[in-house]
Amino acid sequence: MKINMYIDGEWVEALSGDRKNIINPANGEVIASTADGSVDDAKKAIKAARKAFDSGIWSNLSAEERAAYLYKIADRLEEKATELAFLETLNNGKVIRATTTADIPVAIQTFRYYADQVKEIKKESYIRADSSETMIIHEPIGVCGLIVPWNFPLMMAAWQIAPALAAGNTIVLKPSELTPVSAFKLFEIIEEVGIPAGVANLVLGPGSKVGNELAESLDVDKVSFTGGTKTGQSIMHAATSNMKKITLELGGKSPLIVFDDVDFEAAVENAMFGIFHNAGQVCSAASRLLVQETIYDKFVERLAERANKIVVGNGESENSEMGALTNEFHMNEVLSYIKSGIEEGARLVCGGKRLTENGLERGFFVAPTIFADVNEDMRIVKEEVFGPVLVVQKFKDEEDAIQKANDSIYGLAGAVFTEDMERAKRVISKLRAGITWINSYHLAYVDSPWGGYKQSGIGRSLGSVGLEHFMEMKQINVHRHVKPVGWYAN
């Protein structure tokens, strides 16, 4: 597969002519060749987006007209759902059951949701005592740079593209240089449905070049980024160039709290899903498990027993329950965290190694890993590992659980498992996190806001607020006739 950039309605090579290979993380095989863009390519795309926005070719369309394009995109995604699910698995390494049942359907749903949402925006109007009128209207921000990660390539792209286009903005999308395949397919659809040239642009290349240019450029009015906190901080700093609007969804070290009154086996399975779904490569992964001391030993033992039975393998197999990590560099980072945990004295309960048997030797597979008897000063407890690595902490009572859960620089997600609903509501209300669950984990809804507290980000994606983040609000005060102010004596 040959992948190029889509700029100003044309498929183009990188200006430098550079290309790079894209590999399947399950077996190391080359699956595509992609244009490898740089700063000049980003500038070219920004220029096209700026020209398109200033022309009004998109922003001047009615909400209904823009929504019609989004519905068409959703329909085409649905027609190609099987192909897209396979390609996402091939490029990212995740299991096919995830791309089939979650990633692609959610992307489709996102386009339809924002097509519906933008049509429902109403003008606010107030008549004053002096018969003047105040109107509040929503307008697009302008050119939006959208930087999305490699863990949910198509779904995260949809989360940003759909509201940005619905609101009337023009966009430059930068997918991860590791996982551009589904973004390329999405832009083929964008071309097919006839979105005007320059409105939607795809630039490929490393974040240090393309992403940084989007953040710094004076012609970009908003940047939305999903990824690591350190990179988010760099983007936030670069965005001061023109005080551009920013939305940042960043890291997490999310707690899952289990009280001793729960359905034991169900809680064990939910804890597994919280951390091992997508091989732990989820910003909201439940990477810190807090278990009440009365069931701690039994829970850890059972958790390890079941984690050792997780079927790890090529994501293309329907039998695989956990796939490969998305790239070799990241796999080695995860393995270094595991080594750190052992060196710092945590008890390795299961896993802790790269998997190279039964045909996995050419892929980037790490065994489901659990550490027990950890303390809050360990790196594996404090830092985001972003892999299939769980740390289990013991707590005494409700107050202790809340204190330990909130003892983090992050605040993206969290959950409470208990049969006592009053306790569940008390605890969840005290968790400093933006996405929370009671007796479940990882469920997400397109109509509800997604984002975190503290160093887990700024702003929210999804829901009606996800659309608002791509719009400006304008106040218009109307007097039908000019009257003297009467302020000055002469």
Cα 274 to Cα 19: distance, rounded to the nearest angstrom: 37
Sort strands 347-350 and 288-292 into parallel, antiparallel or unpaired: unpaired
Exactly one of 213, 216, 249, 468 is catalytic; name it: 249
**Residue 274 in tokens:** 């919280």
> Can you count the helices (H) and strands (E) in the chain?
16, 23
Cα 486 to Cα 263: distance, rounded to the nearest angstrom: 74
Indicate if 249 belongs to the active site: yes
Q: Which of 100, 111, 39, 45 is nearest to 75 (CA)?
A: 111
Helical (H) or strand (E) element with 270: helix 264-276
Give the 3-state secondary structure of residue 437.
Answer: strand
Cα 398 to Cα 427: distance, rounded to the nearest angstrom: 7
CA distances 159 to 28, 76, 103, 274, Å, are: 29, 17, 11, 21
Cα 201 to Cα 187: distance, rounded to the nearest angstrom: 8
Q: Where are the beta strands (DSSP E) in 148-259?
A: 170-174, 200-202, 222-226, 245-249, 255-258
Which residues, 6 or more positions from 399, have their beta carbon under 8 angstroms from its beta carbon? none
Exactly one of 177, 213, 216, 283 is catalytic; name it: 283
Indicate if 283 belongs to the active site: yes
DSSP states along 130-176? TS-EEEEEEEE-SEEEEE--SSSHHHHHHHHHHHHHHTT-EEEEE--
| 303 touches 392 (CB < 8 A) | yes
**Residue 232 in tokens:** 């988010």
Active site amino acids:
249, 283
